[in-house]
Homo-oligomer: A and B are copies of this chain.
Amino acid sequence: MNRQNDDTAPRDPLVIFTPSGRRGRFPKGTPVLTAARRLGVDLDSVCGGRGICSRCQVQPGRGEFPKFGVTVHEDALSPVNAVEERYDRIRGLAPGRRLGCQALITGDVVIDVPAESQVHRQVVRKRAEVREITLDPAVRLAYVEVSEPDMHEPSGDLERLQAALAGQWGIEGARLHFALLPALQRILRKGEWKVTAALWQSDAGSSPEIIALWPGLHESGLHGLAIDLGSTTIAAHLVDLQSGAVVASAGVMNPQIRFGEDLMSRVSYAMMNPGGAEEMTEAVRQGLAGLIGDVAREGGVAADTLLDCVIVCNPVMHHLLLGVDPYELGQAPFALATSGALDLCAADLGLSSALPASAHIHILPCIAGHVGADAAAVTLSEAPEKSEDLVLIVDVGTNAELQLGNRERVLACSSPTGPAFEGAQISAGQRAAPGAIERVRIDPATREPRFRVIGCELWSDDPGFARAVAATGVTGICGSGIIELVAEMRMSGLVDASGLIGTAEQTGSPRCFSDGRTQSYLLWENGDTRITITNRDIREIQMAKAALYAGARLLMDRFGTDHVDRIVLAGAFGAHISPLHAMVLGMIPDCPLDKVTSAGNAAGTGARIALLDRGARAEIRETVKRIEKIETAIEPRFQEHFVNASALPNAVDPFPLLRARQPLPDLRFNAGGAGGDRAGGAIGVNERPRRRRRRR
């Protein structure tokens, strides 16, 4: 804390800023903004104290402040002046508020800096357990008055702008993005040599770059985009970089879908079709540009204020976005072209139609060939490296990315779950969309199902359900619905530990029927629509959940633990699945149910953190380096865990948590289903046999 003048000039007025508590004595007539700057108080200003931007608003106190031993008199600040009066008349100034650059200190005073006047204020996050976000974006505004050209001292307009930034803001060596050069002279003259520059400052120490310029004081804000570029959908949050608020959000299907539903089919497309990678690059860039336009329109934001963008994505999307053929990612050793963070501009990615060519784009680092920038964003959001207890973070997609760790160490891997959790490769499966069954309950006594579909609040056994879903119909089962369905079938004794569906005779349910060579269960029938689940569907889910579980076990082995303190389910999918059912299914290791939380779109949140706080970019670069990467493809133990994890556990007893206790039947249906023997009817919770066998 700077206490200059505190002792040397005791008669100078004492100024105390809240909430920081910083204090100092300053000569009478010192502007509040000047005092704040000298004391290092976080008080914003774009115009540099010229009384035009109003960002330095403060709230002076009055009366007794026993805490500080100060009495603030009415005349502790100079009276409201003409600049403030005019500002109040035109824009309105809240009662008691002063402009810090206009109000002069004339006596002892306590001055509160409201949150909206702080540059580096905290951004509120809904979830209390996660890291705070400090607002410190990579782009800031600086209003400057530039010297006019002088024939006696000829220098370029840019050089005089640079001199103004250095002289008025201490910003040395600012480069101009080349795309701005053609407009520079016009803007300077239109603003009568007063301009607002947007400066991008790398977190890696390179010199700042001027990436936008407006005549006069720029007042239509500064915005950024946090983009989660998924294989299936692309989601964008439009963020106000001055307040940290999300202004608008939008999502679109990834247009690459037409080249293949899952990532590996896109890698194959690139391998089989000359120019295929370029086609997909073009498609995803067009999709991005369209989405950016949509979200900007929705937010009512001018495109010229969209100046920073953070993109997170899996490694295949990462490469396709960058124009790199993902060929190497399709085969061992899964080498990334580049794993480091990237600072690009819109023009580099062909996004100049949607963003200013000079807008910056930051891509988070990838963790490994199967664990991408999206996983790094999850790390940034969930901060396992800061966790006191041992946390397992599970982000389920076509691959599941898993992170396990605490303050000591963090491990990460990717598990090849395949697309079953996304509804693909399931006979009645579909993407999460209106009409898709998303929740399922089966009565353990009657073995009759009831369910809900996306877009309708009613359960299927509620009166009026048929009418309520008339518009969308009941079209299929999405990922969360499949998980609940299989778990409920297991819990109600319709399916045995090996994953086989019992016959109508075995189960006493007429919904179980023989369907050619396999068994099925009828979930819904209405006219021509029949939604069933087959033994083969359950097999797909078993494979997927076994892969996920095996990945988690592998990390636990490496960590040297056999339990985790808590589990975080990340991703849109994680937000929709029921922790209870996931555990019944054996997707995730055992853990008290109240220690299983959903982080929502943690990758998107991580992108937003990196967008708002450039310090977080440097931080995640370092964190990623320290994460221990485990490649499941070359770990023999992964195969072991996988084989052992295909059974559906029955020793978990979740019932007390949700409903009346009711023992799980220990059925085994000998219908000859593949893998039935291997999984073994005697296998309960799927880690047990492994541990027994490992203990030699």
Q: Give residues in A with beta carbon < 8 Å to B.
A: 148-159, 176, 178, 181-182, 184-185, 206-207, 322-325, 327-328, 332-340, 344, 348, 366-369, 629, 631, 633-634
Contact = CB atoms under 8 A, between A and B. Distances in A.
A149 B333 contact: yes
A90 B573 CA distance: 63
Contacts of A631: 151-152, 154
A633 to B, nearest CB: 7
B176 A332 contact: no
B154 A338 contact: no
B206 A323 contact: no
B159 A339 contact: yes
Contact of A185 (B335, B344, B629): B335
Given A178-B344, A181-B322, A344-B178, A151 B634 contact: yes
A206 B206 CA distance: 8
28 contacts: A149-B335, A150-B333, A151-B332, A151-B334, A151-B369, A151-B631, A151-B634, A154-B333, A154-B334, A154-B336, A154-B631, A155-B336, A156-B339, A156-B340, A157-B336, A158-B337, A159-B339, A159-B340, A178-B344, A181-B322, A181-B324, A181-B337, A182-B325, A184-B324, A184-B337, A184-B338, A185-B337, A206-B206
A336 B181 contact: no
Contacts of A327: 185
By secondary structure, the A interface counts as loop
A151 B178 CA distance: 40
B335 A157 contact: yes
A159 B153 CA distance: 47
Nearest to A634: B151
A344 B338 CA distance: 24
Given A176-B338, A332-B151, A335-B149, A324 B182 contact: yes
A538 B366 CA distance: 74
A314 to B, nearest CB: 14
Contacts of A156: 335-340, 366
A159 B631 CA distance: 19
Contacts of A323: 181-182
Nearest to A369: B154
Contacts of A184: 324, 337-338
Contacts of A629: 153-154
Contacts of A159: 338-340
Nearest to A160: B335
A174 to B, nearest CB: 12
A335 B332 CA distance: 59
Given A154-B368, A154-B629, A634-B151, A181 B333 contact: no
Nearest to A173: B204
A337 B183 CA distance: 9
A203 to B, nearest CB: 14
B332 A158 contact: no
A176 B631 CA distance: 27
A327 B183 CA distance: 12
A9 to B, nearest CB: 42
A185 B633 contact: no
B158 A338 contact: yes
A391 to B, nearest CB: 22
A137 to B, nearest CB: 23
A153 B339 CA distance: 12
A323 B186 CA distance: 13
A366 B344 CA distance: 29
Residue among A155, A158, A176, A366 with max Cβ neighbours from chain B (10 Å)? A155
A39 B296 CA distance: 61
A184 to B, nearest CB: 5
Closest 5 CB pairs of A and B: A156-B339, A149-B335, A154-B368, A158-B338, A156-B338
A337 B151 CA distance: 14
A161 to B, nearest CB: 9
Contacts of A634: 151-152
A339 B185 contact: no
A313 B335 CA distance: 46
A325 B154 contact: no
B339 A155 contact: yes
Given A156-B366, A206-B206, A366-B156, A338 B151 contact: no
A339 B348 CA distance: 26
A19 to B, nearest CB: 40
Given A184-B338, A185-B325, 14 more contacts: A148-B333, A149-B369, A151-B369, A154-B339, A154-B367, A155-B339, A156-B339, A157-B337, A178-B344, A181-B322, A181-B324, A182-B323, A185-B328, A185-B337
A150 B631 CA distance: 10
Residue among A181, A325, A629, A633 with max Cβ neighbours from chain B (10 Å)? A181
Contacts of A633: 151
Residue among A332, A333, A348, A367 with max Cβ neighbours from chain B (10 Å)? A333
